[in-house]
Amino acid sequence: MNRDEARPRASAKGRANKGPVQRLAVLGATGSIGTQTLEVVRLFPEKFKVVALAGNRNIELLHAQALEFSPACVAVGDDASAQALRRRLEGTGIAVLQGKSGLREAACWEGVDVIMAAIVGFAGLESVVAGIEAGCTIALANKETLVVAGERVNALLRAHGGRMVPVDSEHSAIFQCLVGEPAGAVESITLTASGGPFRTRPLETFDRITREEALRHPNWAMGSKITIDSATMMNKGLEVIEAHWLFHLPPERIDVLVHPQSIVHSLVNFADGSSKAQLGQPDMKVPIQYALSYPDRWPAPHPRIDWSAAGRLDFERPDRRKFPCLELAYEALRQGGAAPAVLNAANEAAVALFLKDRIRFVDIPRAIETAMAQFDGPAHPSLDDLVALDRAVRRRVEELYGAPAY
């Protein structure tokens, strides 16, 4: 592990921040991160030109976004959505692309400097890869990309001289704490977790958890998949793996603490005994904006903390019996190779089944554990290996639970 790399790169060759206007592709534009990204763009119209938008099937919203931001292209998930959107955008000159190839095309559309990678899940991987190959800077919200393909993605970033800036609030916090720090100064990092809606719920009642209860996150309003991941604490597990690839630290130097107030977004612990943290209201627009303004900070009206009324900041160890997904993620990271991709695919399939009321909350970690025992995959999987493995693991989880999830 190279400690030198555990800090922001000051002199990346990525295309961002070259001129006064950043040319943006917002992938996952209709989601929680995508819409908040466009809110940041609205705050700084002179700093951005939206060149490409991509979403899945929310044609209403994509249509409104296309009219507001006049991108060169909009990519949608399927043929029917593309036809519907094409009719609506007739005469505007905006190209409508579709499917996986359309998404890749949108990512590397002529002139894109920065990609906001905000598609959820494995579906976001290929567009990030296409963007890196085209020399774009990646603002990364789609943590699953690094979980599944961290080794490949880092190799591509090195090969293309690219830059990746984290959007995930914990990783943004660490990234911010590392600015200006010398190489080799980091002893460990501590990711904070809200603990989700079931932090204080007794373990004996976990088999009765409903979808509605799991979707009620105490501190953050997010897409449904990450909200369930927060309830199982798999989100923190995925973030441990994400942090490993972003900051080049081994699993034993990445710690997790539950911090119910979600004010301290994460900490870096340095070799001299000092720790630095980044704090703020739980509002994703701050890390989204930082990923786009880095290395600058732009004044903005995001909510402030009234420190005189902030009260207590609590920290506690996560309960690993209630949240076995966290340990499964550490285990996948220790195993390495394709294990994190198996973990991720099984989790995505199990969460989709849970959201359809086909399995119980407590079945999610069981499905993942079973998949991890049944699949191993190559030590250094190619992107094609990862696509095949992802498909096979999902199919297996769906077979095991007797009903197709998609």
Residues engaged in binding ligand NAD (CB under 6 A): 28-34, 54-56, 58, 77, 103, 118-120, 123, 141-144, 168, 220, 222-223, 225-226, 284
How big is the site for Mg ion, counted in residues (CB under 5 A)?
3
| Contacts of the segment 297-300: beta carbons below 8 A, 24+ positions apart | 298/44, 298/47, 300/40, 300/43
User: Which entry of ligand NAD, Mg ion, none binds 34, CB below 5 to 8 A by partner kind?
Assistant: ligand NAD
Please say whether the dihedral angle defined by the alpha carbons of residues 68, 74, 80 and 81, taken in this order, is positive or negative.
negative
Which position's Cβ is nearest ligand NAD? 31
Nearer to ligand NAD, 146 or 400 (CB): 146
> CA of 175: how far to CAs of 100, 247, 287, 306, 318, in Å?
31, 8, 10, 24, 23
Nearer to ligand NAD, 287 or 377 (CB): 287
> CA of 261: how far to CAs of 158, 180, 220, 243, 319, in Å?
37, 28, 11, 21, 17
Measured in whole angstroms, the distance separating CA 307 from the mean position of its chain's CA atoms is 29
User: Which entry of Mg ion, ligand NAD, none binds 118, CB below 5 to 8 A by partner kind?
Assistant: ligand NAD
Nearer to ligand NAD, 280 or 400 (CB): 280
| Smallest distance, ligand NAD to C-beta of residue 379, A | 26
| Smallest distance, ligand NAD to C-beta of residue 97, A | 11
Measured in whole angstroms, the distance separating CA 319 from the mean position of its chain's CA atoms is 24
| Smallest distance, Mg ion to C-beta of residue 170, A | 5
Nearer to ligand NAD, 156 or 286 (CB): 286
128-187 residues in contact with Mg ion (CB under 5 A) are 168-170
The 3-class SS string of 323-385 reads CHHHHHHHHHHHHCCCHHHHHHHHHHHHHHHHHCCCCCCCHHHHHHHHHHHHCCCCCCCCHHH
User: Which entry of ligand NAD, Mg ion, none binds 254, CB below 5 to 8 A by partner kind?
Assistant: none
- 113 sits near Mg ion (criterion: CB under 5 A): no
| Smallest distance, ligand NAD to C-beta of residue 157, A | 18
Cβ atoms of 120 and 28 within 8 Å: the answer is: yes
User: Which entry of ligand NAD, Mg ion, none binds 123, CB below 5 to 8 A by partner kind?
Assistant: ligand NAD
